[in-house]
Each structure stands twice: as structure tokens, then as C-alpha cells.
Amino acid sequence: MREETFDVINPTGLHMRPAAVLAKQAAGYDCEVSLVYKGKEMDAKSVLNIMAANIQAGSQITLICNGSDEDRAIGELGRQIREGLGEKS
């Protein structure tokens, strides 16, 4: 299991578009991918779960990957989160 904490740099938080980017990318890995925000853990492969968490700009989230490709998943997903999931910060 790998876990790492990231700052959300998106100016409007993880709204529909960045949540969809994250969920789509997470779904491409065989490992389980979870997101922890304010003590609540959710399936990061579900755009609805991510959006329901109402993750705001400047928040910290923890990404947890557990399975055969966890190293690759946390590395690539972490890079995308640090870069704003395709949005300018």
C-alpha cells in the first residue's frame, strides 16, 4: 500500500471537470485507489464520490493506492494532482 498527501491547487477545488479527470485516470489502474478528505475515505475511481466530498481549493487530500500497480498509480496520479488536473492554478 502506498499513500501520499497533496495540496489541491485548483482555484475552484475538485469540481466536475478535475474530478472527472482524476476518476478516469484512477480507473485505468488495477489497484484500488482511494481518496481521503476530512477523515472520510472514498473510491477515487468514482467521479460522483469525489464531487460529493466538495473538495475546496487549498485543501489537503490523501491518495491511497493498494495493489499490483500501486507505485505507478500513485506516481502518475500524484503528478496530475500537483499539476492541477489539467487546470491552471
Percent helix, strand and coil across the chain, each to the nearest 5: 35, 25, 40
Going from the C-alpha of 49 to that of each of 33, 40, 67, 71, the distances in angstroms are 12, 11, 21, 23
Of 2, 13, 15, 57, catalytic: 15
Helix 16-27 vs helix 70-82: crossing angle, to nearest 10: 160
User: Which stretch of DSSP H or E encloses residue 66?
Assistant: strand 60-66
Q: Is 48 a catalytic residue?
A: no
The residues annotated with a catalytic role in the active site are 15
